[in-house]
Amino acid sequence: MTLSEAFLWPGTKVCEYLKVNPEGEAALIRWMVNTLVYLVVSLAVVWILSV
């Protein structure tokens, strides 16, 4: 597993669950899921560091 595959893993797993191709028609779904996952993780890190 390469580093880019590791970063895209959450969205890829959601696409597999929905039974769509993450490399084709579901690329935007994978992008959206990854954005939401990493947004929540980043906000949690900022919140922990600021308190």
Q: What pLDDT is attached to residue 41?
A: 96
Sign of the four-CA dihedral 29, 45, 9, 7: positive
Query: pLDDT digits over 8-50, tens only?
Result: 999 999 999 999 998 888 899 999 999 999 999 999 999 999 9
Q: What pLDDT is attached to residue 12?
A: 92
- pLDDT grade for 5, boundaries at 50, 70 and 90: confident
With 0-12 / 13-18 / 19 or more C-beta atoms within 10 angstroms meaning exposed / middle / buried, residue 26 is buried
